[in-house]
Amino acid sequence: MNRRYLDLYEDIKNSIVEGNYRPGEKLPSENEFCRMYGTSRGTVRKALDLLAEEGLIHSLHGKGVFVLEHNLITFSFGGIVSFKEAAETSGLKFTTSVSKFEEVMIDEALSARTNLPPGKAAYKIFRVRKLDGERVILDINFFLKDVAAGLSKEIAEQSIYEYIEGELQLKIGFAKRIIHVEPATSADKAHLDLKGYNLVAVVKNFVHLHDGTPFEYTESRHRPDRFEFTNFARRR
């Protein structure tokens, strides 16, 4: 299967996130993209369709394709981004501290919770995200040790995805995402400044590499007044 359009999608998206294409700016035409990337119009259209579904661009008939304002999108249903990428895109200044970093074996119960294979070793990590001096997000991560080889507490304080994609040269592919509200647990109360809230918004991510290998399970547990999850919908 030709996956060239995914590479093109990721390249254009990175250019948008990094500000090379700014909100309101017209993108190159399909023909121009074809020349730039040495690919077909069908490939370009597939890439642009993905960007449109994610709410990053919009096509105006007879005028072209334009970059949408995206600085309010902190987390998106349609994309897989690291916390660092999401924070930078939103313009918010978070700090991250790692309160737990340990190796665990995935037993049957943990496998049922995470969809990671039983009998494998995993890194279990607690990362606390602080905004304006308040602890507002607790990320509970499980990464397969076989995949995220060499992961450390120091790397976890920065960006695990940057390490996986940059240092290990692995390609992150897709994720199943579940969002719901749960009563605050003892871990939430210990790690977050809940300010009297007894509920947290929970985003569960089951993440796979590009080849379909499951390698990560993350629970991102948010204080509800600081939680915003956005989506862009288009009528077909």
Report pLDDT digits (tens) over 29-67: 999 999 999 999 999 999 998 888 777 888 888 889 998
At 24 the pLDDT is 85
The dotted CATH code for 83-226 is 3.40.1410.10
CATH 3.40.1410.10 domain residues, the chain:
83-226
Which residues have CB under 8 Å from 103's CB, separation 6+? 121, 122, 123, 124, 145
Report pLDDT digits (tens) over 113-170: 999 999 999 999 999 998 878 899 999 999 999 999 999 999 999 899 999 999 999 9
At 81 the pLDDT is 54
Residue with tokens 């990671």: 116
User: How far from the centroid of its chain's Cα atoms is residue 153's Cα?
Assistant: 20
CATH 1.10.10.10 domain residues, the chain:
4-67
What kind of architecture, by CATH, is found in domain 4-67?
Answer: Orthogonal Bundle (1.10)
For residue 120, count other CB atoms closer than 10 A to its CB: 16
Query: What predicted TM-score, i.e. pTM, was given to this entire model?
Result: 0.65
Mean pLDDT of 205-225: 91
For residue 96, count other CB atoms closer than 10 A to its CB: 17
- Report the distance separating Cα 42 and Cα 22, nearest Å: 24
| Residue spans of alpha helices (H) in 4-74 | 4-17, 30-37, 41-53
Task: Flag whether pLDDT at 71 surpasses 50.
Answer: no
Whether 123 and 98 have beta carbons less than 8 Å apart is answered as no
Residue type, 76: S
- Report the distance separating Cα 146 and Cα 91, nearest Å: 34
